[in-house]
Chain A
Amino acid sequence: MNSFNVNSIFRFVTLILIQVLIFNNINFMGSINPYPYILFVLLFPINNNRTLFIFLSFMLGLFVDIFSNSGGVHAAACVTIAFIRPPVLKFAFGMIYEHQTIKFNNTEFGNRVIYFSILIFIHHLILFSLEIFNISNIILVAQKTLFSSIFTIILCALISILFSNKQR
């Protein structure tokens, strides 16, 4: 339990710092930024206190908001994906999730990518629609969501491969 706490806190702080100092400044092709900090939400251990989980996701989003001057858009998006995570887990992993024995390190890669993609896409959709906040710019929202999602999915997959090997 203790090592889990230390691990989570470390992950929380590192992901926020990496996000605001590096990934917010990538600006690929002008304005495409990935948001891999949500790996914290994606990889949070499953059999845990749900209220705590949603609250931590909120704090994660809020910190990124404070750094990037964006009001509460990241917080809203993070809380939402934390809330809808269980159904998505069930959809992506099927039987294994039912038995509550899932460990992200030894799930199949394909399943993991599907799971990441769904949550990342929802997160980005909420993020950009709230940020732009204008129905007449709906094409811009769709465009930004699509490109950023692809970027984030690739990065998340890479990072999770990198770090899952070490733990095995």
Chain B
Amino acid sequence: MFLLLFVISLGLTIQSHSYHKSKFINSANFLTGGIYEGASGISNYFDLDDQNEILVEENNRLRSQIFNSNDSVAMETPFVDSLSYAGRYKIQTAKIINNNYASTKNYLTINKGERDSIKEDLGVITSKGIVGIIDNTSNGYARVLSILNTKSRINAQLKSSNHIGSLKWDGNSGSTTVQLTDISKFAPVKIGDTIITGGQSTIFPKGIHIGTIDLFDLDISGDTYTIQVKLFNDMTNLSHVYVIENLDSQEIKLLENPIDE
């Protein structure tokens, strides 16, 4: 009996270590989603002040963007019907109902799911920076693979040049820092520079802010930099997020892997 159950749980553990396999044991199902939503409904009240401030900040920034943009261009742009507008990205809002950041494999749960046409592999961001990628959905909820997860890999680049690398997390550097690896040693890396998402993936649009360079040093092999990135986002205090869908991702994937289809 013991051995049987122990083997089952080991199996579940190993399964959860491989990306996109943990279908069964996750917090995006009806029961757990419902309980978390109820609990976050209560705890949200204590956080309202902070969240209001974040929203005001964002409004402020967007307004200043509108007023400072080139007026003549803005005025002459014809009215765009949002239904027929063929944009590349579709953006939806969602709310975090469960947030983990203390373990080495962290996930978040949001209150939108397949019902709101949320699918796997959509990007999740806040007004300040990126949060993670959706990796599991149910009817009403979705689970987000946080950037604070040792399984997470995100394409990122320097803002000042086009050198790309991949963003990882080593699991023990706290909830404020992630690592950017595989940046070529010829890249102009400076402390304080901004890191943004790269345009190479079909998940995030190019140019979403991630964080600033805190520290960097050469790899053991001597060919690439490993950069410690200080996140703009406070991952411990998230509430409202945006889910980004790249409407062209199907087409791009089809083009890149024609053999799979």
Contact = CB atoms under 8 A, between A and B. Distances in A.
Interface in A1-47: 17, 20-21, 24, 27, 30-33
B16 A132 contact: no
A154 to B, nearest CB: 18
Interface string A50-72: 01001100100110011111111
A133 B13 CA distance: 9
A76 interface: yes
A13 B6 CA distance: 22
Contact of B9 (A30, A31, A76): A76
A127 to B, nearest CB: 10
Interface residues of A, number: 36
Contacts of B102: 27, 30-33
Given A58-B5, A137-B171, A66 B104 contact: no
A125 interface: no
B5 A75 contact: yes
Given A131-B103, A137-B172, 5 more contacts: A17-B35, A21-B35, A71-B25, A73-B13, A76-B9
A80 interface: yes
Contacts of A27: 101-102, 236
Contact of A76 (B6, B105, B175): B6
Given A131-B103, A131-B104, A68 B27 contact: yes
B13 A72 contact: yes
A82 to B, nearest CB: 8
B104 A132 contact: yes
Contacts of B174: 30-31
Contacts of A72: 8-13, 15-16, 25
Nearest to B39: A21
B17 interface: yes
Interface of B: 1-2, 5-6, 8-17, 22, 25-27, 29, 31-32, 35-36, 39, 100-105, 107, 143, 171-172, 174-175, 236
A73 B236 CA distance: 24
Contacts of B17: 71, 133
Contacts of B35: 17, 20-21, 67
A83 interface: yes
A140 interface: yes
A135 to B, nearest CB: 14
Interface string A72-98: 110110011011000000000000000
Interface of A: 17, 20-21, 24, 27, 30-33, 51, 54-55, 58, 61-62, 65-73, 75-76, 79-80, 82-83, 130-133, 137, 140
Contact of A140 (B10, B11, B172): B172
A82 B5 CA distance: 11
B27 A67 contact: yes
Given A27-B236, A132-B171, A71 B5 contact: no
A75 to B, nearest CB: 4
B105 A70 contact: yes
A17 B32 CA distance: 10
B179 to A, nearest CB: 14
A75 B1 contact: no
Contact of B105 (A30, A54, A67, A131): A131
A72 B13 CA distance: 4
B15 A71 contact: yes
Contacts of B27: 66-69
Contacts of B236: 27
A48 to B, nearest CB: 14
8 contacts: A58-B8, A68-B27, A69-B25, A69-B143, A73-B13, A76-B9, A82-B2, A131-B103
B9 A75 contact: yes
Nearest to B7: A76
A51 B25 contact: no
